[in-house]
Structure formats: structure tokens, C-alpha cells
Amino acid sequence: MKDEKLIERIARRAALELKDGYCINLGVGLPVEVLKYIPKDVEIFLQSENGILGMGPPAEKGKEKPELIDAARNYVTIKPYGSFFDSAFSFGMIRGGHLDATILGALEVDEEGNLANWNLPGRIGPGFGGGMDLAVGTKYVIVTTFHLTKNGKSKIKKKCTLPLTAKKAVNRIITDMAVMDVSYDPKEKGLILREVAPGYTIEDVVKATEAKLIIKNVEKWKTS
């Protein structure tokens, strides 16, 4: 299956996590794709850490306004109730626990809920951005990522090997193969396998996952 189809699969499933009235923030890349698949009866309030609440869809080509950009410098639109504020106020919203959910991408995520999503060794990157604040300050943290790297290695680790963005912050992981929850129960450490994507079996997911999987009451993959 081509990457575009896998991205759509992940984004469609992640969109079902968002409830009516949620105030959310989406990370760059794959998480932004979730906007395309939010159910029509669900109204969310989209926040951007550069100081916007109430972002609409991306701006159409030719209709961009240079003053309307998100934290990743993409041109956006603003809904009628949208508001603007400075970065200090914006990060106060995030750090104060006022966001219901955030959806972030990942280079690696592990069975302890640790997240690495900002840097690869030897690569000069832009830094953390707002990812660290979002991961530790948001009520519910969802990671969306491919299950395997292009080299076929698991991105769902026993222990992250890349520089961390946040420790023990992730709640749910949605990949092209499965939905998993991080167990913070000291008696049951690992990732709880919740759903297996079409075309895969539980055995396929276990084989592709380096982290410990807790398998019980696995449900059918939810679709929008």
C-alpha cells in the first residue's frame, strides 16, 4: 500500500479521537492530515502555538494571506470566532493544561510513553518548537506515525534511542498497523493493543513491534 493510503488510514482513525467541543493542537506533517477527516457533526477549536485559536482549513492556493500562518509557517484560514494572542498567552494555554488533546508525529515512541520526534543524529533541525510543551501540557497526547521505518525497523520501541521530546507523556499511539495505549499501571507495563488495522493480524503487529504488547480484548479497527 502506498504511503498516501497509509497516511489517510492513520489520519482517518485519529480523527475519531476528537470529540465535539475539543480544543486541540496538531503537530506538523501527518497530524495536520487529520483535519480532512473530522466528522461533520464534530466542531473542534484548533489552536496554534504562534497565537491563534479557531483556525480553519489550509488556505486555498491564490487566496493566501501573508499574516495568517500557523506555527509551521503554512498559510491558514480563520473561522468567524477565531482569535489572536501573543506567544506567551498561547504557551500559557498549553502549559496550563487547557488543551483537550494534541496529535503529534514521532520518530520513535516507546512502551513507557516516551516520545522522540524532533531530531535525528547528524541532522541539523529547527529544534523542539512547541512539541515539548504540547507533549507534557496537554490532557490527552496521541501519536500518529508509521509502524516501521523505511528500513523496516520498528518505530514502536522498548526504549527510545533518539533524543527525547518528553518522558512518559504519550497516551495513545495510532499507526498504519494498530492502535495502542500506553499502560501507566505499575502492575501492567507495556502497550495495550486496542485495534489491528485491516490486512494485518495480531501476530503481524507483534512481529513489527519492539515494545512489549499487552494483548486482551482487541477490537475491530474503527472507521469514519
**Residues 55, 84: Cα–Cα separation, whole Å:** 10
123: alpha, beta or left? (left if phi > 0; alpha if psi -120 to 50): beta
| C-alpha to C-alpha distance for 214 and 104, rounded to whole angstroms | 23
Residue 17 annotated among the catalytic residues of the structure: no
Residue listed under C-alpha cell 495510532: 174
> In which residue are the cell numbers 495505549 written?
181
Assess contact for 27 and 131: CB atoms under 8 A. yes
Say if CB 200 and CB 148 are below 8 A apart.
no
Residue 212, number of CB atoms within 10 A of its CB: 14
- Cα 54 to Cα 5, 85, 116: the distances in Å are 28, 12, 28
Could you tell me if 49 and 71 are in contact, meaning their C-beta atoms sit under 8 angstroms apart?
yes
Among the listed residues 49, 108, 111, 112, the single catalytic one is 49
Catalytic residues: 49
